[in-house]
Chain A
Amino acid sequence: MTATIFEIKRFAVHDGDGIRTTVFFKGCPLRCVWCHNPEGLTNAPQTARYAHKCIGCGECKKEGFTPDDCLGEATVLYGKEVTAEELLPILLEDRDFYETSGGGVTLSGGECLMQADFCAELLKELKKEGIHTAVDTCGFVSKSALDKVIPYADVFLYDVKAYDEDVHIKCTGLSNKQILQNLIYLDSIGKDIEIRIPYVPDYNDGQIEKIACFLAPFKNIKKIRVLPYHNYAGSKYEALGLQNTLPDRLPTDEEIKRVAEKIKVITNFVVLY
């Protein structure tokens, strides 16, 4: 079995507990206007060009060129087919760090559960190795996809972007019904959950209280993390030839602090930002 991934990030510090390696799967059902991984939206491989990085070596004019040959990293292929056997040794490289820090491996994306069978296979192998596993999901997946990975995922990093359906549609293009249902389901079966709330001024800033009230009664939420919106991804949109949908206004540190405090007061969970 293979999957399409677009990045492996080592020393990931904010993707679950401890020091982690995160695998980014390609393809996502949502289209969040603020998406900072636009290279993860479609499942098909894409080539991006960062013209300013080209060193003019001419490799790409040669027969048999692959983006791997582009040392300037000006031509980048997002989307690589991999097998679990190929991934495993790479993910185990930082095993010592996972052990000393309580970290592990996180599957993210895009939406990793669009390739749920592969995720299940990979997670199973990781569990055999005794590695802590996290699945970072937008939640817009079928219950059966969730069920595939539940036995092998130690924690779910679960995005909640809006509570009101219309706001969710405005922000992501799709309804959040399934997302909220899946979250209730995960909680009901006792899975550890870390909630992630992207905070995007002018888009979901009015949703914070509602989200918090919705989450308050959950039993298995270990923490909530507020992710301040940032606009670093602009150059990626350009390189991929995509229309840049990124909002203009950035949240201030003060704003984020206030939001986090508000969530804390309402839910009583640990809130990080």
Chain B
Amino acid sequence: MEYIKEQDLDYILNKFHDTHKPFTGFERFIIRRDEIFSEDTGMDPDSVVECVLRQDEHLKNFPHPVRKAKAFEFVLKNTRISCDARDRFPGLNMTDRPLHKTLVNAWRKEVFDEIIPEIGARRTRLEKDGIVTIWPDYDHSVPVWERVLSLGFSGLREECRLAHNAHPWDEEGEAFFEGIEVTYTAIIDFIGRLADLADNTAGSERMGMALRNIRYSAPKTFYEALMVCYIYFILCEHIEGLQVRSLGNFDKIFLPFYENDLKNGINEEEIRTDLAYYFLQFTAIGHAMNNPVYLGGDNEDGSTIINELSYVFLDVFDKMGIYNPKIQIKVNGNTPKTFLLKALDMIRRGHNSIVFVSDATMRAALMRDGFSEDVARTCDVKGCYEYAVQGAFSCEMNYLNLVKPLEYALHKGYDGVTGVFAGTSSLNIEDYVSFEQLYDEYKRQLKTVIDTTIETVNSFENYFSYINPQSMISATFPSCIAQGRDAMHGGAVANNSTLLCGFIADIADSLSMIKKYVFDKKQISLRELVAMLDTDFSGNEIWQKKLSLDREKYGNNRDLPDSIAVDISKFIISSVVDRPNATERGGKWTCGFHVARMSYDQGKKTAASANGRRFGEELSKNLSASMGQNREGATAAILSATKIDATAFSSDAALDLGLLPSAVKGDDGLEAMHGLLMTFVKRGGHAMHINVFSADTLRNAQSHPEKYRDLQIRVCGWNVLWNNINKEEQDGFIRQAEALV
């Protein structure tokens, strides 16, 4: 691998995974490499967990932030560590999120099983029925990296001490500051422990020096800055249990270090190599959904952030041929075209861990939410393509299946798969005399689901800071320090909860087909259609094909389905946006169009639908057409998607675009990709990511996996190796590619 020495590569990849075992990106926390983490450096993972629990026995009277901080401190003092001449960053034996295993999960259980058991049960039922999947989300928030880098760990601690001592605090404030004190002191000591080990490890002297330099001060060189981010990340994600999942606006926050190094005569090749070793840590961690980092945006004076370092970043990433971390690029009218062409060329060559997000749309959305332009301009991009102002704490993982409420409306309020009553009854099928009446009933069912979801989430988000107080991230948020409040307990500048809406294409298409064939053409009665759906079209394959092949589908710039999609989006906005979330958080509800893995998971639980989709089949992704239905090409897909007002979906609204290699070959092809992107941005779209593939290649890759070891595929805001997804998911991509024109 470019920049990385052969023996180093093997060492680093094995630092977080056993590369001799089958890869699974979901098991990244379970890493026990005894040959890498010597027993001289600390306790084995099981003993760490055991001792944390034992220690906590004596701390039961302390508030949660302090108990968690003490556990954190114990882990950092005792977990095994490593330094090695083959690596430029230290290792930490990750022991399956020890604080989760011990305290956090216990507190979560207490909340869901004992304090609000009915809410816990409801949450489980909603997920089981495939209507709403709700995961308590501590993950989609970003530390204020600029503060981490400008102050360093001890600077952050100092700031909190000053605030703490400035005046008396209430009990909660005391616990908050005490939690930070213990946590950051533990980090500073931990860095000392790493530095000692590095000093005593042949070939790790440079690492040792950097660790010493950052222990009590802010980083000064590019390498030291990387080291601070790496340590913050690894502790936050793997020990504290918050998946930060964004490494920040890289080309902005690292530029001063980069320039300074060059001024001081440090060779750019050395900087590139450090960057490569930094990237490789995330590649090796192998988070299933990839760790995000973003580039670009605007400076205060309106000039673009894209700079020399942005190019270096892409170049190193490209040459390494990796797909983790994943990259978001903030695009504006002033983003240099050469930079975008470089990124688009990477995508077309299959190095497509890149998503473009429109700066203008995000800014407009956040200003609509009441933030000033300056605050909106510096918003963080996080997760797949979500965004929020800096210093916000957002809880996003509430996935709503927009197709299910139609099942309810067509089954008198009962689930079409399980037959369980869903909560509110609907008419007999025969009683729907017009399409409008059915459509209104769909909306009524949808509204009921939305209300239930909001009530459920609001109930348990009240307990978020009780379950998992966030000392590490809160110390980076000035608003938390000023108020003496945890980021999850109203301390952040924005405390939103998000409803992520899935499958707008399937619902728009299903309703369009019902309108067309049942109410307009009268070729089939509603009762007959529902009977077909209930039996998964068995014996009615021709109708299944008809409904599926009909071109009047969302994603093709057709009036009927697109107007339904727009109308439903407006209905969602009016039912969700700006409603208050948990009182203890004091934020608002927002929406997004984002499905993550739900197109598979909820798809499995969704009955056959009137757009010809069979029971259990994959549902549509984000703002894209239903599976295999984008038959009028890329421009039509963009026109359909941008009819929906993305600024009202202030979490995210992403379009997945598939393009044929033949369409994007040569200079014209690259220009065309650029044209698609800029038109999407101009029309107010939010996020766009692209797969360039042909059905033939994918079929070939399915039958000859050994020949396609490097083939990457963009799933939904993240990349995977083709060989790491299952046959069913591969088939879905083949179908999608088959429809491309």
Chain A interface residues (CB < 8 Å from chain B) = 9-11, 13-14, 17-19, 55-58, 71-73, 93-94, 96-97, 99-103, 272-273
Q: Which residues of chain B are near A58, meaning CB under 8 Å? A: 542
Tell me, in angstroms, the Cα distance from A57 to B547 when the chains sit together: 11
Q: Is B266 an interface residue (CB 8 A)?
A: no
Chain B interface residues (CB < 8 Å from chain A) = 542, 545-546, 549-550, 557, 632-636, 638-639, 663-664, 666-669, 671-672, 674-676, 678-679, 682-683, 741
User: Which of A11, A55, A102 is within 8 Å of B635, CB to CB?
Assistant: A11
CB distance from A112 to the nearest CB of B (A): 21
CB distance from A261 to the nearest CB of B (A): 15
CB distance from B522 to the nearest CB of A (A): 15
Asked whether A97 and B668 contact (CB < 8 A) given A11-B633, A71-B546, A72-B549, the answer is: no
The answer on a CB contact under 8 Å between B671 and A101 is: yes
The answer on a CB contact under 8 Å between B668 and A272 is: yes
The answer on a CB contact under 8 Å between A57 and B635 is: no
Q: Which residues of chain B are near A57, meaning CB under 8 Å? A: 542, 545-546
User: Closest chain B residue to A59 by CB distance?
Assistant: B546
The answer on a CB contact under 8 Å between A96 and B679 is: yes
Can you report 16 A-B residue pairs in the complex whose CB atoms are below 8 A from each other? A10-B633, A13-B663, A13-B669, A14-B669, A55-B545, A57-B542, A73-B549, A93-B635, A93-B636, A94-B639, A100-B674, A100-B675, A101-B678, A102-B671, A103-B672, A272-B667
User: Closest chain B residue to A54 by CB distance?
Assistant: B545
Q: Which residues of chain B are near A102, meaning CB under 8 Å? A: 671, 675
Q: Which residues of chain B are near A19, meaning CB under 8 Å? A: 635, 672, 675-676, 679
Q: Which residues of chain A are near B549, meaning CB under 8 Å? A: 55, 71-73
The answer on a CB contact under 8 Å between B636 and A13 is: no
A-B contact count (CB 8 A): 81
Tell me, in angstroms, the Cα distance from A13 to B682 when the chains sit together: 20
Interface centre among B667, B668, B669, B741 (most CB of A within 10 A): B668
Q: Which residues of chain A are near B545, meaning CB under 8 Å? A: 55, 57, 71-72
User: Which of A10, A73, A100, A103 is within 8 Å of B636, CB to CB?
Assistant: A10
CB distance from B664 to the nearest CB of A (A): 7
Q: Which residues of chain B are near A55, meaning CB under 8 Å? A: 542, 545-546, 549
Q: Which residues of chain B are near A93, meaning CB under 8 Å? A: 557, 635-636, 639
Q: Which residues of chain B are near A71, meaning CB under 8 Å? A: 545-546, 549-550
CB distance from A97 to the nearest CB of B (A): 5
- In order of increasing CB-CB distance, the 10 nearest A-B pairs are A101-B675, A11-B633, A100-B678, A55-B545, A71-B549, A13-B672, A19-B675, A100-B679, A94-B635, A97-B679
Q: Which residues of chain A are near B669, meaning CB under 8 Å? A: 13-14
Asked whether A13 and B664 contact (CB < 8 A) given A71-B545, A72-B545, the answer is: yes
Tell me, in angstroms, the Cα distance from A156 to B550 when the chains sit together: 37
The answer on a CB contact under 8 Å between B676 and A97 is: yes
The answer on a CB contact under 8 Å between A18 and B675 is: yes
Asked whether A13 and B668 contact (CB < 8 A) given A93-B557, A97-B635, A100-B679, the answer is: yes
CB distance from A104 to the nearest CB of B (A): 11
Not counting A11-B635, A58-B542, A73-B549, a sample of 5 additional A-B residue pairs whose C-beta atoms are within 8 angstroms of each other reads A11-B741, A55-B545, A72-B545, A272-B666, A272-B668
User: Which of B557, B668, B678 is within 8 Å of A14, CB to CB?
Assistant: B668
User: Which of A10, A56, A97, A273 is within 8 Å of B675, CB to CB?
Assistant: A97
The answer on a CB contact under 8 Å between A100 and B639 is: no
Tell me, in angstroms, the Cα distance from A170 to B467 when the chains sit together: 81
User: Closest chain B residue to A270 by CB distance?
Assistant: B667
Tell me, in angstroms, the Cα distance from A13 to B674 when the chains sit together: 12
The answer on a CB contact under 8 Å between B557 and A273 is: no
User: Closest chain B residue to A58 by CB distance?
Assistant: B542
Tell me, in angstroms, the Cα distance from A224 to B557 when the chains sit together: 34
Tell me, in angstroms, the Cα distance from A19 to B638 when the chains sit together: 13
Tell me, in angstroms, the Cα distance from A57 to B523 when the chains sit together: 13
Q: Which residues of chain A are near B683, meaning CB under 8 Å? A: 96
CB distance from A62 to the nearest CB of B (A): 11
The answer on a CB contact under 8 Å between A101 and B672 is: yes
Tell me, in angstroms, the Cα distance from A97 to B674 when the chains sit together: 10
Interface centre among A18, A55, A273 (most CB of B within 10 A): A55
Q: Which residues of chain A are near B672, meaning CB under 8 Å? A: 11, 13, 18-19, 101, 103
Tell me, in angstroms, the Cα distance from A93 to B542 when the chains sit together: 33
CB distance from A65 to the nearest CB of B (A): 14
Asked whether A10 and B678 contact (CB < 8 A) given A55-B545, A101-B672, the answer is: no
CB distance from B589 to the nearest CB of A (A): 32
Tell me, in angstroms, the Cα distance from A103 to B668 when the chains sit together: 10
Tell me, in angstroms, the Cα distance from A101 to B663 when the chains sit together: 14
Q: Which residues of chain B are near A73, meaning CB under 8 Å? A: 549
Tell me, in angstroms, the Cα distance from A11 to B668 when the chains sit together: 12
User: Closest chain A residue to B669 by CB distance?
Assistant: A13
Q: Which residues of chain A are near B671, meaning CB under 8 Å? A: 17-18, 101-102
Q: Which residues of chain A are near B546, meaning CB under 8 Å? A: 55, 57, 71
CB distance from B23 to the nearest CB of A (A): 34
User: Closest chain A residue to B674 by CB distance?
Assistant: A101
Tell me, in angstroms, the Cα distance from A103 to B636 when the chains sit together: 16
User: Closest chain B residue to A11 by CB distance?
Assistant: B633
The answer on a CB contact under 8 Å between B632 and A10 is: yes
User: Closest chain A residue to B678 by CB distance?
Assistant: A100
User: Closest chain B residue to A16 by CB distance?
Assistant: B668
Q: Which residues of chain A are near B675, meaning CB under 8 Å? A: 18-19, 97, 100-103
Q: Which residues of chain A are near B557, meaning CB under 8 Å? A: 93
The answer on a CB contact under 8 Å between A56 and B679 is: no
User: Closest chain A residue to B550 by CB distance?
Assistant: A71
Tell me, in angstroms, the Cα distance from A17 to B675 when the chains sit together: 11
CB distance from A67 to the nearest CB of B (A): 13
Tell me, in angstroms, the Cα distance from A181 to B442 when the chains sit together: 66
CB distance from A264 to the nearest CB of B (A): 14
Interface centre among B633, B635, B683 (most CB of A within 10 A): B635
CB distance from B271 to the nearest CB of A (A): 35
CB distance from A229 to the nearest CB of B (A): 14
Tell me, in angstroms, the Cα distance from A71 to B682 when the chains sit together: 34
User: Closest chain B residue to A21 by CB distance?
Assistant: B635
Interface centre among A19, A73, A94 (most CB of B within 10 A): A19
CB distance from A211 to the nearest CB of B (A): 21
User: Which of B636, B664, B666 is within 8 Å of A273, CB to CB?
Assistant: B666
Tell me, in angstroms, the Cα distance from A195 to B652 when the chains sit together: 45
Q: Which residues of chain B are near A101, meaning CB under 8 Å? A: 671-672, 674-676, 678-679
Tell me, in angstroms, the Cα distance from A272 to B678 when the chains sit together: 24
Tell me, in angstroms, the Cα distance from A13 to B669 when the chains sit together: 6
Q: Which residues of chain B are near A9, meaning CB under 8 Å? A: 741
User: Which of B550, B663, B678 is within 8 Å of A11, CB to CB?
Assistant: B663
Tell me, in angstroms, the Cα distance from A237 to B664 when the chains sit together: 27
Tell me, in angstroms, the Cα distance from A71 to B666 when the chains sit together: 35
Tell me, in angstroms, the Cα distance from A96 to B666 when the chains sit together: 22
Tell me, in angstroms, the Cα distance from A130 to B390 when the chains sit together: 43
Q: Which residues of chain A are near B550, meaning CB under 8 Å? A: 71
Tell me, in angstroms, the Cα distance from A58 to B633 when the chains sit together: 29
Tell me, in angstroms, the Cα distance from A13 to B670 when the chains sit together: 10
The answer on a CB contact under 8 Å between B668 and A17 is: yes
Tell me, in angstroms, the Cα distance from A199 to B709 when the chains sit together: 34
User: Closest chain B residue to A53 by CB distance?
Assistant: B549
Tell me, in angstroms, the Cα distance from A58 to B636 when the chains sit together: 30
User: Closest chain A residue to B636 by CB distance?
Assistant: A10
Q: Which residues of chain B are near A13, meaning CB under 8 Å? A: 663-664, 668-669, 672
Q: Which residues of chain A are near B676, meaning CB under 8 Å? A: 19, 97, 101
Asked whether A56 and B668 contact (CB < 8 A) given A11-B635, A19-B675, A71-B549, the answer is: no
Tell me, in angstroms, the Cα distance from A243 to B236 when the chains sit together: 69
Tell me, in angstroms, the Cα distance from A99 to B636 when the chains sit together: 16
Tell me, in angstroms, the Cα distance from A101 to B664 when the chains sit together: 13
User: Closest chain B residue to A96 by CB distance?
Assistant: B679
CB distance from A17 to the nearest CB of B (A): 7
Interface centre among A72, A96, A99 (most CB of B within 10 A): A96
Q: Which residues of chain B are near A96, meaning CB under 8 Å? A: 679, 682-683
Tell me, in angstroms, the Cα distance from A14 to B668 when the chains sit together: 7
Q: Which residues of chain B are near A273, meaning CB under 8 Å? A: 666
The answer on a CB contact under 8 Å between B666 and A10 is: no
